[in-house]
A and B are shown apart, each in its own frame.
Chain A
């Protein structure tokens, strides 16, 4: 993993989130593109990398949210880890797999965020319908997924070539 490249990817996603996707609500729901980084890292580099990148991306977005610091980090870490675990068992040749993984992972992440938010006393279910948030985030991240996977492959390219990275 090359930390500076990961940081650059997180910064670009952060700028896209606050500058673009935050301003384009669909049915009141805004896409969450930060979550896709951990999923893509998990897909490319396995559960370890997925969790680490997810944690860093979560903290980056937590800094500007009114929710307690660490809420997004918890969710993104778990989702990145799970993406690494699950995608390791899948056939690697399918062209649609990155998009599918990012869409499903994002949907799981949104639901998990809402649940963890409720547990820590945040009003995560008082906004737009959860189904709308899940749908918007999943669709947008399915589109961005292949690009995120490429970006993560570039960011993690110094990893041990014997590990999963070389098989993608």
Chain B
């Protein structure tokens, strides 16, 4: 009898808590967002605590990484990677500029102004295995808005998914919910690239005609539609695979991101407002 009463109370507690959690979940589902201001405010409060916690445990994490001689290799690797990224970006940029130059000769008078941007430091990475965002130290107080493009020396990194006063959360471009309009200057084709998950190449399903001549190794940039947060000509990556579709006259592309998403330190947030 006592057991049954306790068991009934437990079930009631469980149901009550689940109901509360489900209500919060539904109210906070992406696109609805009435809890966004509350979360942002709490995020602002918790961010310094989180940074302090990371600093406190720094010796432990460094010791962990040091056990594998990781720290020195990491620094050296980071420097080399930066050099390589810069060289690749420069090389790709030269090719693109050549193409652009030709286009500009034909259509003189078109000007591409520099977009306004802010430099941000990546202050923390993912918190759990299911989290694949990074946090940066610039927020709405510095003009950062939800949706703004985030770029590193290597190219496009992702977009701002949440903003508080002094912090912003960045969703990486490999996330399945991420898509961006892209252009392949060499063949003058445009399409939409979508993330396929951590460590996987982006996928371009639509817009690239099979007779376009796109091939492995082609450089991919943002197309920069006026209605988009992404300015044109930001490097996205390189085509790694071209597959014919079963039906139709288009090809599917795989694009390896050019930015190194595993060791982000400083990024730029492009403060572009879609028109």
Contacts and interface: CB of A to CB of B under 8 A. Distances in A.
Interface of A: 15, 17-20, 22-25, 28-30, 32, 46-48, 51-52, 55, 58-59, 61, 63-71, 73-74, 77-78, 81, 84-85, 110, 113-114, 117, 120-128, 132-133, 136-137
Nearest to B47: A64
Interface in B1-58: 6, 9-10, 13-14, 17-18, 20-30, 35, 39, 42-43, 46, 49-50, 52-57
B169 interface: yes
B175 A22 contact: no
Given A25-B129, A126-B200, 8 more contacts: A19-B54, A28-B198, A30-B127, A73-B20, A84-B10, A121-B29, A126-B174, A127-B129
B124 interface: yes
Contacts of A132: 129
10 contacts: A24-B64, A51-B10, A63-B46, A70-B20, A70-B25, A73-B17, A73-B24, A81-B10, A85-B10, A120-B29
B161 A123 contact: no
Interface stretch (B130-138, B201-209, B226-234, B245-253): B130-138
Given A19-B53, A47-B14, A52-B13, A66 B133 contact: yes
Given A15-B53, A18-B50, A128-B198, A66 B176 contact: no
B162 interface: yes
A73 B14 CA distance: 11
A17 B57 CA distance: 11
B215 to A, nearest CB: 28
Contacts of B28: 68-70
A64 B21 CA distance: 16
Contacts of A133: 129-130
**Which of under 10, 10 to 19, 20 to 34, or 35 or more describes the interface residues of B?**
35 or more
Contacts, number: 161
A15 B53 CA distance: 6
A6 to B, nearest CB: 14
Contacts of B162: 66
Contacts of A52: 13, 17
Contact of A77 (B21, B52, B54, B198): B21
Nearest to A46: B10
Contacts of B25: 68-71, 74, 120
A69 B24 contact: yes
A74 B23 CA distance: 10
B61 interface: yes
A58 B23 CA distance: 14
A66 B24 contact: no
B165 interface: no
Nearest to B9: A48
Contacts of A59: 21, 24
A139 to B, nearest CB: 13
B83 interface: no
A61 B50 CA distance: 11
Contacts of A47: 10, 13-14
